[in-house]
Amino acid sequence: MMAKLVLKNISELNQYLGKEIGVSDWHLVTQNEINLFADATGDHQWIHVDVERAKKESPYGGPIAHGYYTLSLAPVLMSQILEIQEKKMGINYGTEKVRFPAPVPIGKKIRMKSVLSSLKEVKGGVQANFQLTFEVEGQEKPACVAEVVYRYYG
C-alpha cells in the first residue's frame, strides 16, 4: 500500500489532477460480509449466498460478491487513500459510469486504486471525479471500474 495522501485543504487537490492518488490496503471478502450485504439489500440470489449450490452450478466454482457490494467498499477504501484535513464535509455525489468486468470470488482479497480524473469548482467547494479500479488479488481483470463523484466543501 502507498502512504495515505493527506492534504491540508481542498485547494490542494488541484496539484493531483490526472494523477494516481493512491492504492488501498487489501480487503478480504468473506461469506459473512456477502450475507450481510444480501440482507441489507434484499438481493439473496443463490450465486452470492448459497455456497453449496454455487460450488455445483456457478460458472465461477463458488459464490461471488455482488457487484454493488464491491462498489460499496469505495468510501472505506478511499479513506485509506485520501484525507483532506480542513473541510466542512465531503459527500458522495454519485457515479458517472460503473462496470463489473470480472467476478470477486468469496475468500479473495480486493483493493482499490484511485485517480483524480477531473476537478471543478462548485458553490462552497469542489467536485472531484475519481476513476476507481477494484483489483482482485491474483486476477488480471479488475472486478469493478467506476467513475465516482465526490463533493468537498471548505
Residue 57 lies in a domain: no
pLDDT at position 154 is: 87
Residue 139 lies in a domain: yes
Query: In which domain, by residue range, is 90 found?
Result: 5-29+66-153
Whole-angstrom distance, CA of residue 134 vs CA of residue 110: 6
Domain count, the chain: 1
Exposed/middle/buried for 34, CB within 10 Å: 0-12, 13-18, 19+? buried
Residue 47 lies in a domain: no
pLDDT at position 119 is: 97
Whole-angstrom distance, CA of residue 84 vs CA of residue 88: 10
pLDDT at position 3 is: 85
Residue 55 lies in a domain: no
Residue 25 lies in a domain: yes
Residue 134 lies in a domain: yes
pLDDT at position 2 is: 67
pLDDT at position 116 is: 98
Residue 41 lies in a domain: no
pLDDT at position 1 is: 55
The pLDDT averaged over each successive group of 10 residues in the chain (154 residues) is 87 96 97 98 97 96 97 96 95 96 98 98 97 97 98 94
Residue 82 lies in a domain: yes
Is the distance from CB of 152 to CB of 103 less than 8 angstroms? no
Instruction: Give the CATH number for residue 72.
Output: 3.10.129.10
